[in-house]
Structure 1
Amino acid sequence: MTGISEGNASKRFSKSLPIISKFLRKLIIKPQISCVKANLPLAFRARYYKVYCIIDCLEIEIEKPSDAIKQSLTWSEYKKCNTLKYLISCTPDGIINFVSGGFGGRASDAVIVENSGFLATLPSNVNVMADRGFKHIEHLLVSKGCVLVRPPTVSAGTKPTKDEVLETKRIASLRIHIERVIRRLREFSFLAPHACIDNKLLGYTDNVIKIVCGLINLQSGIISGR
Protein backbone atom coordinates (compact mmCIF):
# COMPACT_ATOMS: atom_id res chain seq x y z
CA MET A 1 0.00 0.00 0.00
CA THR A 2 1.39 3.40 -0.97
CA GLY A 3 1.78 6.11 1.65
CA ILE A 4 -0.41 9.17 1.95
CA SER A 5 0.68 12.77 1.85
CA GLU A 6 1.35 14.76 5.01
CA GLY A 7 -1.62 17.01 4.23
CA ASN A 8 -3.97 14.05 3.80
CA ALA A 9 -2.72 12.46 7.04
CA SER A 10 -3.29 15.75 8.85
CA LYS A 11 -6.87 15.97 7.59
CA ARG A 12 -7.64 12.42 8.68
CA PHE A 13 -6.10 13.06 12.08
CA SER A 14 -8.09 16.26 12.67
CA LYS A 15 -11.37 14.63 11.57
CA SER A 16 -10.89 11.34 13.43
CA LEU A 17 -9.66 12.69 16.78
CA PRO A 18 -12.93 14.34 17.96
CA ILE A 19 -14.91 11.24 16.96
CA ILE A 20 -12.61 8.88 18.87
CA SER A 21 -12.62 11.27 21.83
CA LYS A 22 -16.44 11.40 21.82
CA PHE A 23 -16.63 7.65 22.40
CA LEU A 24 -13.62 7.04 24.64
CA ARG A 25 -14.41 9.90 27.04
CA LYS A 26 -17.47 7.86 28.03
CA LEU A 27 -15.05 5.49 29.76
CA ILE A 28 -14.13 8.29 32.20
CA ILE A 29 -16.89 7.39 34.62
CA LYS A 30 -18.38 8.95 37.73
CA PRO A 31 -18.83 5.96 40.05
CA GLN A 32 -21.37 5.78 42.84
CA ILE A 33 -20.02 6.21 46.39
CA SER A 34 -21.12 2.66 47.19
CA CYS A 35 -19.10 1.34 44.24
CA VAL A 36 -15.98 3.22 45.37
CA LYS A 37 -16.34 1.85 48.91
CA ALA A 38 -16.88 -1.69 47.63
CA ASN A 39 -13.58 -1.52 45.73
CA LEU A 40 -11.64 0.44 48.36
CA PRO A 41 -8.07 -0.88 48.75
CA LEU A 42 -7.27 -2.26 52.19
CA ALA A 43 -4.76 0.52 52.95
CA PHE A 44 -7.58 3.12 52.88
CA ARG A 45 -10.05 1.29 55.09
CA ALA A 46 -8.73 2.13 58.53
CA ARG A 47 -8.32 5.94 58.45
CA TYR A 48 -9.33 7.06 54.98
CA TYR A 49 -12.47 5.06 54.19
CA LYS A 50 -14.35 8.24 53.18
CA VAL A 51 -11.91 9.10 50.37
CA TYR A 52 -13.82 9.20 47.09
CA CYS A 53 -11.00 10.36 44.84
CA ILE A 54 -7.37 11.48 44.68
CA ILE A 55 -6.45 14.54 42.62
CA ASP A 56 -3.29 15.91 41.05
CA CYS A 57 -2.29 18.10 38.11
CA LEU A 58 -0.51 16.92 34.98
CA GLU A 59 1.74 19.52 33.33
CA ILE A 60 2.77 19.13 29.71
CA GLU A 61 5.46 21.27 28.12
CA ILE A 62 4.40 23.20 25.03
CA GLU A 63 6.26 25.19 22.41
CA LYS A 64 6.79 28.80 23.47
CA PRO A 65 3.88 30.83 22.06
CA SER A 66 4.73 33.79 19.84
CA ASP A 67 2.14 36.00 21.56
CA ALA A 68 3.49 37.67 24.72
CA ILE A 69 0.19 37.33 26.63
CA LYS A 70 -0.03 33.61 25.86
CA GLN A 71 3.59 33.25 26.93
CA SER A 72 2.69 34.76 30.28
CA LEU A 73 -0.48 32.69 30.75
CA THR A 74 1.28 29.40 30.00
CA TRP A 75 4.52 30.04 31.90
CA SER A 76 5.01 27.57 34.74
CA GLU A 77 7.28 28.62 37.60
CA TYR A 78 7.37 24.99 38.72
CA LYS A 79 8.50 23.56 35.35
CA LYS A 80 10.39 26.69 34.23
CA CYS A 81 8.84 26.46 30.77
CA ASN A 82 5.52 27.03 29.01
CA THR A 83 2.98 24.33 29.86
CA LEU A 84 -0.62 23.19 29.81
CA LYS A 85 -2.08 21.89 33.08
CA TYR A 86 -4.78 19.27 33.49
CA LEU A 87 -6.54 18.26 36.69
CA ILE A 88 -6.71 14.47 36.93
CA SER A 89 -8.87 12.64 39.47
CA CYS A 90 -8.94 8.91 40.16
CA THR A 91 -10.73 6.69 42.63
CA PRO A 92 -8.63 5.03 45.35
CA ASP A 93 -8.33 1.89 43.20
CA GLY A 94 -7.02 3.87 40.22
CA ILE A 95 -10.01 4.45 37.93
CA ILE A 96 -9.91 7.89 36.29
CA ASN A 97 -13.19 9.61 37.12
CA PHE A 98 -12.42 13.15 35.92
CA VAL A 99 -10.04 15.02 33.64
CA SER A 100 -10.27 18.76 33.06
CA GLY A 101 -9.72 20.79 29.96
CA GLY A 102 -6.31 22.39 29.57
CA PHE A 103 -5.29 25.46 31.60
CA GLY A 104 -2.25 27.67 31.12
CA GLY A 105 0.70 26.70 33.30
CA ARG A 106 0.36 29.94 35.25
CA ALA A 107 -3.01 28.83 36.68
CA SER A 108 -2.83 27.69 40.29
CA ASP A 109 -4.18 24.33 41.41
CA ALA A 110 -6.98 26.13 43.30
CA VAL A 111 -8.06 28.08 40.20
CA ILE A 112 -8.19 24.86 38.18
CA VAL A 113 -10.21 23.02 40.84
CA GLU A 114 -12.70 25.90 40.97
CA ASN A 115 -13.10 26.43 37.23
CA SER A 116 -12.61 22.99 35.68
CA GLY A 117 -16.05 21.54 36.44
CA PHE A 118 -14.56 19.06 38.92
CA LEU A 119 -16.72 20.26 41.82
CA ALA A 120 -19.90 19.64 39.83
CA THR A 121 -18.96 15.96 39.45
CA LEU A 122 -18.12 15.52 43.13
CA PRO A 123 -20.73 13.85 45.37
CA SER A 124 -21.56 15.52 48.66
CA ASN A 125 -20.06 14.42 51.98
CA VAL A 126 -16.96 12.64 50.69
CA ASN A 127 -13.24 13.15 51.21
CA VAL A 128 -10.82 14.28 48.50
CA MET A 129 -7.13 13.42 48.86
CA ALA A 130 -4.43 15.73 47.46
CA ASP A 131 -0.83 16.69 48.04
CA ARG A 132 0.42 19.68 49.99
CA GLY A 133 0.46 21.85 46.85
CA PHE A 134 -3.34 22.07 46.76
CA LYS A 135 -3.70 25.09 48.99
CA HIS A 136 -6.79 27.24 49.42
CA ILE A 137 -9.32 24.72 48.13
CA GLU A 138 -10.81 23.71 51.49
CA HIS A 139 -13.60 26.30 51.21
CA LEU A 140 -14.51 25.01 47.74
CA LEU A 141 -14.99 21.50 49.11
CA VAL A 142 -16.78 22.67 52.26
CA SER A 143 -19.47 24.20 50.07
CA LYS A 144 -20.33 20.63 49.02
CA GLY A 145 -19.94 19.15 52.48
CA CYS A 146 -16.65 17.53 51.47
CA VAL A 147 -13.34 17.32 53.33
CA LEU A 148 -9.82 17.82 51.95
CA VAL A 149 -7.29 15.21 53.07
CA ARG A 150 -3.72 16.45 52.58
CA PRO A 151 -0.43 16.34 54.48
CA PRO A 152 -0.32 18.73 57.44
CA THR A 153 1.13 22.17 56.74
CA VAL A 154 4.33 22.93 58.63
CA SER A 155 5.53 26.52 59.00
CA ALA A 156 8.99 27.36 57.70
CA GLY A 157 11.64 26.86 60.34
CA THR A 158 9.31 24.73 62.47
CA LYS A 159 10.10 21.10 63.12
CA PRO A 160 7.12 18.82 62.39
CA THR A 161 5.78 16.73 65.23
CA LYS A 162 5.95 12.95 65.22
CA ASP A 163 2.21 12.77 64.46
CA GLU A 164 2.58 15.18 61.52
CA VAL A 165 5.44 13.12 60.09
CA LEU A 166 3.39 9.91 60.36
CA GLU A 167 0.34 11.55 58.79
CA THR A 168 2.45 12.86 55.89
CA LYS A 169 3.90 9.39 55.28
CA ARG A 170 0.47 7.74 55.39
CA ILE A 171 -1.04 10.14 52.86
CA ALA A 172 2.02 9.96 50.60
CA SER A 173 1.80 6.15 50.53
CA LEU A 174 -1.84 6.38 49.35
CA ARG A 175 -1.43 9.31 46.97
CA ILE A 176 0.97 7.16 44.98
CA HIS A 177 -2.07 5.74 43.16
CA ILE A 178 -2.70 9.01 41.28
CA GLU A 179 1.02 9.21 40.53
CA ARG A 180 0.85 5.74 39.00
CA VAL A 181 -2.11 6.82 36.88
CA ILE A 182 -0.18 9.87 35.63
CA ARG A 183 2.83 7.63 34.93
CA ARG A 184 0.59 5.60 32.63
CA LEU A 185 -0.49 8.77 30.85
CA ARG A 186 3.17 9.59 30.33
CA GLU A 187 3.75 6.27 28.57
CA PHE A 188 2.03 7.69 25.49
CA SER A 189 4.62 9.49 23.36
CA PHE A 190 2.42 12.59 22.93
CA LEU A 191 2.48 13.05 26.73
CA ALA A 192 5.95 11.65 27.49
CA PRO A 193 7.91 13.44 30.26
CA HIS A 194 10.25 15.21 27.84
CA ALA A 195 7.78 15.74 25.00
CA CYS A 196 7.05 19.28 23.84
CA ILE A 197 3.74 19.89 22.09
CA ASP A 198 3.90 21.94 18.91
CA ASN A 199 1.70 25.04 18.94
CA LYS A 200 -0.16 23.70 15.90
CA LEU A 201 -1.32 20.72 17.98
CA LEU A 202 -2.58 22.62 21.03
CA GLY A 203 -6.15 22.59 19.74
CA TYR A 204 -6.09 18.78 19.75
CA THR A 205 -4.59 18.27 23.20
CA ASP A 206 -7.86 18.18 25.19
CA ASN A 207 -9.18 15.40 22.95
CA VAL A 208 -5.90 13.50 23.17
CA ILE A 209 -5.99 13.63 26.99
CA LYS A 210 -9.56 12.29 27.08
CA ILE A 211 -8.72 9.49 24.65
CA VAL A 212 -5.69 8.45 26.69
CA CYS A 213 -7.64 8.54 29.97
CA GLY A 214 -10.35 6.36 28.43
CA LEU A 215 -7.75 3.88 27.21
CA ILE A 216 -6.11 3.74 30.63
CA ASN A 217 -9.43 2.85 32.22
CA LEU A 218 -9.53 -0.16 29.88
CA GLN A 219 -6.14 -1.37 31.08
CA SER A 220 -5.48 -3.71 34.00
CA GLY A 221 -5.72 -2.12 37.45
CA ILE A 222 -2.82 -0.20 38.96
CA ILE A 223 -3.07 -2.29 42.13
CA SER A 224 -1.75 -5.82 41.64
CA GLY A 225 -4.19 -8.56 42.45
CA ARG A 226 -7.27 -6.45 41.74
Structure 2
Amino acid sequence: MPTRNQVGVHFRLMCKTRKKRAKRALGTTLGLMEQDLAYRFDISQSTVSRIVMTWINFMYLEFKKIPLWPPKELVQANMPKIFKQQYPNTRVILDATEVYIDQPHLPDIQQMTFSNYKNSNTFKVLIGISPDGVVTFISSLYPGFISDKELTRQSGIYTLLEPGDSVMADRGFNIEDDLILKGVQLNIPPFLRDKKQFSENELVITRRIASLRIHVERAMEKIKNFHIFDRSLPVQMTDIANRLFFVCCVLTNFQEPLCT
Protein backbone atom coordinates (compact mmCIF):
# COMPACT_ATOMS: atom_id res chain seq x y z
CA MET A 1 0.00 0.00 0.00
CA PRO A 2 1.55 3.37 -1.00
CA THR A 3 2.27 5.87 1.74
CA ARG A 4 1.02 9.42 1.61
CA ASN A 5 4.52 10.64 0.70
CA GLN A 6 4.76 8.14 -2.15
CA VAL A 7 1.43 9.29 -3.51
CA GLY A 8 2.59 12.90 -3.27
CA VAL A 9 5.82 12.12 -5.12
CA HIS A 10 3.87 10.35 -7.86
CA PHE A 11 1.64 13.40 -8.26
CA ARG A 12 4.55 15.82 -8.43
CA LEU A 13 6.61 13.78 -10.87
CA MET A 14 3.60 13.43 -13.12
CA CYS A 15 2.61 17.08 -13.07
CA LYS A 16 5.72 19.12 -12.24
CA THR A 17 6.25 20.45 -15.74
CA ARG A 18 2.59 20.44 -16.72
CA LYS A 19 0.72 22.13 -13.91
CA LYS A 20 1.67 25.75 -14.59
CA ARG A 21 1.05 25.43 -18.31
CA ALA A 22 -2.23 23.66 -17.69
CA LYS A 23 -3.45 26.31 -15.28
CA ARG A 24 -2.56 29.03 -17.74
CA ALA A 25 -4.28 27.16 -20.54
CA LEU A 26 -7.39 26.72 -18.47
CA GLY A 27 -7.37 30.29 -17.27
CA THR A 28 -8.35 28.96 -13.86
CA THR A 29 -6.03 31.10 -11.78
CA LEU A 30 -7.28 34.41 -13.15
CA GLY A 31 -10.73 33.19 -14.04
CA LEU A 32 -10.35 34.42 -17.59
CA MET A 33 -13.23 33.69 -19.91
CA GLU A 34 -12.69 32.15 -23.33
CA GLN A 35 -13.34 35.40 -25.19
CA ASP A 36 -10.75 37.22 -23.07
CA LEU A 37 -8.15 34.49 -23.59
CA ALA A 38 -8.79 34.55 -27.32
CA TYR A 39 -8.12 38.29 -27.41
CA ARG A 40 -4.97 38.08 -25.27
CA PHE A 41 -3.38 35.34 -27.38
CA ASP A 42 -4.77 36.54 -30.71
CA ILE A 43 -6.50 33.27 -31.48
CA SER A 44 -10.10 32.35 -32.12
CA GLN A 45 -12.47 31.56 -29.28
CA SER A 46 -13.06 28.11 -30.76
CA THR A 47 -9.31 27.45 -30.51
CA VAL A 48 -9.34 28.51 -26.87
CA SER A 49 -12.25 26.19 -26.24
CA ARG A 50 -10.40 23.25 -27.78
CA ILE A 51 -7.29 23.99 -25.69
CA VAL A 52 -9.35 24.21 -22.52
CA MET A 53 -11.15 20.96 -23.29
CA THR A 54 -7.86 19.21 -24.08
CA TRP A 55 -6.18 20.22 -20.83
CA ILE A 56 -9.18 19.48 -18.67
CA ASN A 57 -9.57 16.03 -20.16
CA PHE A 58 -5.84 15.28 -20.01
CA MET A 59 -5.43 16.31 -16.37
CA TYR A 60 -8.65 14.57 -15.36
CA LEU A 61 -7.52 11.27 -16.87
CA GLU A 62 -4.08 11.56 -15.26
CA PHE A 63 -5.44 12.46 -11.82
CA LYS A 64 -8.01 9.68 -11.97
CA LYS A 65 -5.15 7.17 -11.96
CA ILE A 66 -4.32 8.11 -8.37
CA PRO A 67 -6.71 6.90 -5.64
CA LEU A 68 -7.81 9.83 -3.48
CA TRP A 69 -9.39 7.84 -0.66
CA PRO A 70 -6.62 6.82 1.78
CA PRO A 71 -6.68 3.67 3.92
CA LYS A 72 -7.70 4.09 7.54
CA GLU A 73 -4.14 3.48 8.76
CA LEU A 74 -2.85 6.40 6.70
CA VAL A 75 -5.55 8.73 8.04
CA GLN A 76 -4.67 7.72 11.59
CA ALA A 77 -0.93 8.14 11.01
CA ASN A 78 -1.37 11.71 9.73
CA MET A 79 -4.12 12.81 12.12
CA PRO A 80 -3.45 16.15 13.85
CA LYS A 81 -3.09 16.04 17.61
CA ILE A 82 -6.30 17.96 18.27
CA PHE A 83 -8.33 15.36 16.36
CA LYS A 84 -6.59 12.50 18.18
CA GLN A 85 -7.56 14.09 21.48
CA GLN A 86 -11.19 14.90 20.67
CA TYR A 87 -12.41 12.83 17.68
CA PRO A 88 -9.78 10.13 17.13
CA ASN A 89 -11.88 7.97 14.78
CA THR A 90 -12.59 10.73 12.27
CA ARG A 91 -12.20 9.34 8.76
CA VAL A 92 -13.52 12.29 6.78
CA ILE A 93 -15.04 15.75 7.17
CA LEU A 94 -17.92 16.29 4.76
CA ASP A 95 -19.25 19.46 3.22
CA ALA A 96 -21.24 20.41 0.15
CA THR A 97 -20.66 23.34 -2.15
CA GLU A 98 -22.42 24.72 -5.19
CA VAL A 99 -21.14 25.89 -8.56
CA TYR A 100 -23.14 28.54 -10.38
CA ILE A 101 -24.16 27.79 -13.96
CA ASP A 102 -25.85 29.84 -16.64
CA GLN A 103 -29.59 29.33 -16.77
CA PRO A 104 -30.31 26.27 -18.93
CA HIS A 105 -32.56 26.75 -21.94
CA LEU A 106 -34.88 23.82 -21.19
CA PRO A 107 -37.51 24.54 -18.49
CA ASP A 108 -37.22 21.10 -16.85
CA ILE A 109 -33.43 21.46 -16.56
CA GLN A 110 -33.91 24.96 -15.15
CA GLN A 111 -36.14 23.52 -12.44
CA MET A 112 -33.83 20.62 -11.62
CA THR A 113 -30.76 22.81 -11.24
CA PHE A 114 -32.44 25.63 -9.33
CA SER A 115 -31.06 25.95 -5.81
CA ASN A 116 -33.37 27.58 -3.29
CA TYR A 117 -30.38 28.16 -1.01
CA LYS A 118 -28.47 30.09 -3.69
CA ASN A 119 -31.57 31.37 -5.51
CA SER A 120 -29.84 30.48 -8.75
CA ASN A 121 -29.11 27.58 -11.08
CA THR A 122 -26.26 25.49 -9.71
CA PHE A 123 -24.51 22.17 -9.60
CA LYS A 124 -23.99 20.72 -6.12
CA VAL A 125 -21.04 18.57 -5.11
CA LEU A 126 -19.98 16.67 -1.99
CA ILE A 127 -16.39 17.12 -0.84
CA GLY A 128 -14.55 15.00 1.73
CA ILE A 129 -11.51 16.29 3.59
CA SER A 130 -9.22 14.18 5.76
CA PRO A 131 -8.48 15.48 9.29
CA ASP A 132 -5.09 16.74 8.07
CA GLY A 133 -6.72 18.83 5.33
CA VAL A 134 -6.29 16.73 2.17
CA VAL A 135 -9.13 16.42 -0.35
CA THR A 136 -9.93 12.70 -0.27
CA PHE A 137 -13.39 12.52 -1.85
CA ILE A 138 -15.05 14.39 -4.71
CA SER A 139 -18.52 13.39 -5.82
CA SER A 140 -19.99 13.94 -9.22
CA LEU A 141 -21.91 17.17 -9.68
CA TYR A 142 -25.64 16.93 -9.04
CA PRO A 143 -28.54 19.28 -9.82
CA GLY A 144 -28.73 22.15 -7.35
CA PHE A 145 -32.11 21.19 -5.90
CA ILE A 146 -30.76 18.03 -4.22
CA SER A 147 -30.60 17.91 -0.42
CA ASP A 148 -27.36 17.28 1.47
CA LYS A 149 -28.75 13.96 2.71
CA GLU A 150 -29.70 12.71 -0.74
CA LEU A 151 -26.45 14.03 -2.20
CA THR A 152 -24.49 12.00 0.34
CA ARG A 153 -26.53 8.89 -0.37
CA GLN A 154 -26.01 9.12 -4.11
CA SER A 155 -22.35 10.17 -3.95
CA GLY A 156 -21.01 6.68 -3.21
CA ILE A 157 -19.10 7.63 -0.08
CA TYR A 158 -21.00 5.12 2.05
CA THR A 159 -19.24 2.30 0.20
CA LEU A 160 -15.87 3.67 1.35
CA LEU A 161 -16.62 4.02 5.05
CA GLU A 162 -15.80 1.19 7.46
CA PRO A 163 -17.26 0.13 10.82
CA GLY A 164 -15.69 2.16 13.61
CA ASP A 165 -15.18 5.25 11.45
CA SER A 166 -16.67 8.58 12.40
CA VAL A 167 -17.77 11.35 10.05
CA MET A 168 -17.78 15.04 10.89
CA ALA A 169 -20.25 17.34 9.15
CA ASP A 170 -22.50 20.36 9.55
CA ARG A 171 -26.09 20.29 10.84
CA GLY A 172 -27.52 19.98 7.33
CA PHE A 173 -26.17 16.45 7.02
CA ASN A 174 -28.99 14.54 8.68
CA ILE A 175 -27.42 11.19 7.81
CA GLU A 176 -27.09 9.55 11.21
CA ASP A 177 -29.63 6.80 10.41
CA ASP A 178 -27.72 5.89 7.26
CA LEU A 179 -24.37 5.80 9.05
CA ILE A 180 -25.63 3.69 11.95
CA LEU A 181 -26.38 0.92 9.47
CA LYS A 182 -22.71 1.03 8.45
CA GLY A 183 -21.44 1.06 12.04
CA VAL A 184 -20.22 4.63 11.53
CA GLN A 185 -20.67 7.51 13.97
CA LEU A 186 -21.79 11.01 12.93
CA ASN A 187 -20.39 14.06 14.71
CA ILE A 188 -22.40 17.21 14.00
CA PRO A 189 -23.30 20.25 16.11
CA PRO A 190 -26.39 19.60 18.28
CA PHE A 191 -29.86 20.88 17.34
CA LEU A 192 -31.98 23.13 19.55
CA ARG A 193 -35.14 21.18 18.65
CA ASP A 194 -37.78 22.18 21.22
CA LYS A 195 -35.32 23.80 23.60
CA LYS A 196 -34.86 27.55 23.97
CA GLN A 197 -31.10 27.37 24.34
CA PHE A 198 -28.22 24.93 24.27
CA SER A 199 -26.87 23.36 27.42
CA GLU A 200 -23.32 24.19 28.45
CA ASN A 201 -22.11 20.81 27.17
CA GLU A 202 -23.87 21.32 23.81
CA LEU A 203 -22.23 24.72 23.44
CA VAL A 204 -18.83 23.14 24.04
CA ILE A 205 -19.53 20.49 21.38
CA THR A 206 -20.73 23.13 18.91
CA ARG A 207 -17.60 25.25 19.36
CA ARG A 208 -15.33 22.22 19.23
CA ILE A 209 -16.76 20.90 15.97
CA ALA A 210 -16.80 24.39 14.45
CA SER A 211 -13.12 24.86 15.26
CA LEU A 212 -12.21 21.52 13.67
CA ARG A 213 -14.40 22.05 10.63
CA ILE A 214 -12.42 25.17 9.78
CA HIS A 215 -10.15 22.84 7.79
CA VAL A 216 -12.92 21.97 5.37
CA GLU A 217 -13.86 25.63 5.01
CA ARG A 218 -10.26 26.51 4.19
CA ALA A 219 -10.10 23.64 1.70
CA MET A 220 -13.26 24.93 0.02
CA GLU A 221 -11.70 28.38 -0.14
CA LYS A 222 -8.64 26.97 -1.91
CA ILE A 223 -10.88 25.31 -4.48
CA LYS A 224 -12.84 28.50 -5.05
CA ASN A 225 -9.57 30.40 -5.43
CA PHE A 226 -9.49 28.98 -8.92
CA HIS A 227 -11.40 32.02 -10.08
CA ILE A 228 -13.01 30.20 -12.93
CA PHE A 229 -15.80 29.59 -10.41
CA ASP A 230 -16.27 33.30 -9.68
CA ARG A 231 -18.81 33.48 -12.49
CA SER A 232 -21.48 31.05 -13.51
CA LEU A 233 -20.18 28.36 -15.86
CA PRO A 234 -21.26 28.94 -19.46
CA VAL A 235 -23.75 26.48 -20.90
CA GLN A 236 -21.11 25.09 -23.27
CA MET A 237 -18.92 24.10 -20.30
CA THR A 238 -21.56 22.26 -18.29
CA ASP A 239 -20.75 19.02 -20.11
CA ILE A 240 -17.22 19.07 -18.68
CA ALA A 241 -18.12 20.64 -15.32
CA ASN A 242 -17.47 17.37 -13.46
CA ARG A 243 -13.97 17.09 -14.87
CA LEU A 244 -13.19 20.76 -14.38
CA PHE A 245 -14.22 20.73 -10.72
CA PHE A 246 -12.37 17.46 -10.07
CA VAL A 247 -9.14 18.85 -11.56
CA CYS A 248 -9.32 22.03 -9.46
CA CYS A 249 -9.93 19.98 -6.29
CA VAL A 250 -6.97 17.70 -6.90
CA LEU A 251 -4.69 20.64 -7.73
CA THR A 252 -5.27 22.00 -4.21
CA ASN A 253 -3.51 18.91 -2.85
CA PHE A 254 -0.32 20.25 -4.45
CA GLN A 255 -0.51 23.46 -2.46
CA GLU A 256 0.74 24.12 1.05
CA PRO A 257 -0.92 21.67 3.47
CA LEU A 258 -3.68 23.01 5.70
CA CYS A 259 -2.26 21.12 8.68
CA THR A 260 1.33 20.31 9.50
Same fold judged by TM-score > 0.5?
yes
Q: After superposition, where does 1:126-165 map in structure 2 within 5 Å?
A: 126-135=165-174, 137-155=175-193, 158-165=196-203
Distance 1:173 1:25 in 2: 32
Q: Which amino acid aligns with 2:201?
A: D
Indicate the residue corresponding to 1:208 in structure 2: 244
Q: After superposition, where does 1:1-226 map in structure 2 within 5 Å?
A: 3-27=42-66, 29-135=68-174, 137-155=175-193, 158-192=196-230, 195-223=231-259, 226=260
Distance 1:109 1:26 in 2: 28
CA-atom RMSD in angstroms? 1.5
After superposition, what is the alpha-carbon deviation per residue over 1:55-109, rounded to whole angstroms, capped at 9, x for unaligned? 0001111111121111111111111111111100010001111101111110000
CA positional deviation for 1:28: 5.5
Q: Which amino acid aligns with 2:134?
A: I
TM-score of the aligned structures, taking structure 2 as reference length: 0.80
Q: Is the deviation greater in 5-14 or in 178-187?
A: 5-14
Distance 1:27 1:215, change over 3 A: farther
Distance 2:157 2:188 in 1: 18
User: What 5-or-longer segments of structure 2 have no aligned partner?
Assistant: 1-40
Question: Percent of aligned positions with the same letter in both sequences?
Answer: 31
Q: Which amino acid aligns with 2:71?
A: Q
Distance 1:173 1:179 in 2: 10
Distance 1:44 1:174 in 2: 8
CA positional deviation for 1:3: 3.6
Asked if the contact 1:56–1:88 (Cα under 8 Å) also holds between the matched residues in 2, the reply is yes
Q: How many residues align?
A: 220
Distance 1:93 1:5, change over 3 A: same
Which of structures 1 and 2 has the larger relative contact order (alpha carbons within 8 angstroms, sep 6+)?
1
Distance 1:11 1:130 in 2: 39
CA positional deviation for 1:38: 1.3
CA positional deviation for 1:139: 2.0
User: What 5-or-longer segments of structure 1 have no aligned partner?
Assistant: none
TM-score of the aligned structures, taking structure 1 as reference length: 0.92
CA positional deviation for 1:219: 1.4
